[in-house]
Amino acid sequence: MWAPTCIHGGFNADFVTEIKRAVQIPVIMVGRFTEPYYAELMVKEGRTDLVAFGRQSIADPELPIKAFRGEMESLTPCIACLQGCVANMFQGNPIECLVNPRTGREAELKAAAVKKKVLVIGGGVGGLYAAYVAALRGHEVTLCEKKVVLGGNMRLAAYPPGKGDIVGMVRNYIVLCQKANVTLLTGIEVTKEYIEVNAPDAVIVATGASPLVLPIPGIRDSSILSGDDVLSGEVQCGQKVLVVGGGMVGSELAAFLGEAEHEVTVIELRDKIGADVISEHRKYLMKDFSDYNITTITGAKVSEIHKDGVSYTLEDGTRNCINGFDSVVLAMGYRNYNPFGEDVDKLAKEVYVIGDAVKARRALDATREAYEAAKNI
Ligand SMILES: Cc1cc2nc3c(=O)[nH]c(=O)nc-3n(C[C@H](O)[C@H](O)[C@H](O)COP(=O)(O)OP(=O)(O)OC[C@H]3O[C@@H](n4cnc5c(N)ncnc54)[C@H](O)[C@@H]3O)c2cc1C
Ligand SMILES: Cc1cc2nc3c(=O)[nH]c(=O)nc-3n(C[C@H](O)[C@H](O)[C@H](O)COP(=O)(O)O)c2cc1C
Ligand code: SF4
């Protein structure tokens, strides 16, 4: 049993306390613990004899020594994503960890033979982890992020209900970079000219992805909002909202708006809402849909976008139209963003493109590729 992100450490504390009262043998509890203090309290209060850390020991096997030394800010938290560990185990593959790509490869990293000047472009989790590992190996690393905040799309991922713990990963990666002496520069959009002036030996392009804008009539109207902007709070929705796209981002955005008491409808091409959401998470997401009375239209291909709704065709060919919404928000997926195009390989002697800049996927891919790139410089 693996609790997903929305379930917090100690969720079973009351049950364990009752078991401890009822039995005369030692009790070991387990379940979504990520830091030692709550666990220690459970033992001190006599509610359990031991607390086991499962996935947290994969996310950061140095937890005991970090806790002993009081270095909790450098602890990498398990975000309970279930993507790297459990998913791989079920497929019979070696386990991985989204927040700790060194899982199972702990002895692999070697100090760099030649110290190089490394420029990392993009401060999402891919860029941050690549910068950290490169610096750990002894390189002189600068990371530039065009926004004023670090974290990229995983910052946005933390806004929907139950996903707040994701921000712990971003926070920790920033701390790891700071401790490894990475120079972190925000508000700097790297261009070819910037690279020419700074002349790095190696460049890691971790520029992420941008929202997909499909060629649908009306989609570029200025009144149509982007899901990213809504999540980040850059724009506000009206009361009655239509979310176009019901994959992971669209369905979590709908829950986010539902929690904020908007009246939400989601329209999705596939016949299932949140089809790409890990099943343990989807169960809770669907409960949000029910709790917030979110309306869904599935198997619907949007053919035109209006200021207050959309026209669409159902699988049986029926044409339809829904309107009367105060806001229409797009969440139709992402496309890789690499501002250097075909010139990317000419940016420096060594160039690595990683994460969503290659192809929009998940953070597990971004951190894995970040590690591979930084390991090889
Ligand atoms: C709303 C949302 C929810 C998500 N939820 C999950 C989830 O629950 N689990 C999961 O695994 N994945 C999730 N994802 C996908 C995940 O966020 C991405 O796969 C991951 O962030 C990719 O990391 P990255 O570092 O490659 O790119 P990004 O996180 O996109 O970071 C790229 C960074 O580069 C910066 N940048 C771009 N161009 C330049 C330039 N020229 N100079 C300087 N900086 C530049 C951008 O501003 C950005 O900060 C979600 C995505 C979104 C949008
Ligand atoms: C990759 C992986 C493999 C596991 N294998 C076993 C196992 O073989 N037997 C078992 O009883 N529990 C197994 N577990 C469950 C853990 O022991 C633990 O109960 C569970 O992860 C919940 O604790 P956590 O929230 O601290 O991760 C496994 C967990 C993971 C993530
Ligand atoms: S893959 Fe996700 S759930 Fe598994 S240990 Fe790593 S962070 Fe935790």
In tens, the pLDDT along 49-82 reads: 999 999 999 999 999 999 999 999 999 999 999 9
Give the C-alpha separation, 27 to 12, whole Å.
Answer: 13
Answer whether 97 contacts ligand 3 (Cβ < 6 A). yes
Asked if the model's pLDDT at residue 10 lies above 90, the reply is: no
The confidence band for 149, taking pLDDT boundaries of 50, 70 and 90, is very high
Span from the CA of 83 to the centroid of ligand 3 (angstroms): 6
pLDDT of residue 320: 96
Contacts for 302 with CB less than 8 Å, ≥ 6 apart: 216, 244, 267, 269, 310, 311, 312
pLDDT at 26: 97
For ligand 2, residues with CB inside 6 Å are 2-3, 30-33, 53-56, 85-86, 89, 95
Is residue 253's pLDDT more than 80?
A: yes
Tell me the C-alpha to C-alpha distance, in Å, between residue 365 and each of 82, 95, 125, 330, 362. 14, 14, 10, 24, 6
Sign of the CA dihedral with 262 first, then 267, 271, and 274 last: negative
Residues with CB under 6 A from ligand 1: 81, 83, 121-127, 144-147, 152-154, 156-157, 189-190, 206-209, 231, 249, 339, 355-357, 361-364, 366
What separation in Å is there between the alpha carbon of 86 and the centre of ligand 3? 8
Q: What is the pLDDT of residue 274?
A: 97
For residue 100, the ligand 3 atom closest to its alpha carbon is: 6
Query: Where does residue 170 rank: exposed (0-12), middle (13-18), buried (19+ CB within 10 A)?
Result: buried
Closest ligand relative to 365 C-alpha:
1
In whole numbers, what is the pLDDT of the chain averaged over residues?
96
Q: Which residue matches tokens 């917030």?
A: 292
Ligand 3 center from residue 186 Cα (angstroms): 28
- Helix, strand and coil in the chain, % to nearest 5: 35, 20, 45
What was the pLDDT predicted at 48? 98
Q: Which residues contact 346 (CB under 8 A, 6 or more apart)?
A: none
Q: With a cut of 90, say whether residue 352 has pLDDT above it.
A: yes
pLDDT above 80 for 177? yes
Which residues does 148 contact at the CB level (< 8 Å), separation at least 6? 186, 187
Phi, psi of 63 (to 5 degrees): -50, -50
Confidence of residue 9 (pLDDT cuts 50, 70, 90): confident
Is the pLDDT at 1 greater than 80, yes or no? no
pLDDT cut 90: percent of the chain above it: 97
SS3 366: helix
In the prediction, which pLDDT does 342 show? 87
Q: With 90 as the cut, is the pLDDT of residue 22 above it?
A: yes
Per-residue pLDDT tens digits for 127-136: 999 999 999 9
Nearest-atom index, ligand 1, CA of 127: 25
Give the C-alpha separation, 182 to 316, whole Å.
56
pTM (predicted TM-score): 0.97
What is the CA(248)–ligand 3 centre distance, in A? 18
Q: Using the Cα atoms of residue 125, residue 89, residue 334 and residue 359 in order, give the sign of their dihedral.
A: positive
Which domains are present in the chain? Answer: 13-90 (no CATH), 117-211+336-376 (3.40.50.720), 225-332 (3.50.50.60)
Instruction: Please give the average per-residue pLDDT across 219-248, as a whole number.
Output: 97
Mean pLDDT to the nearest integer, 9-31 = 95
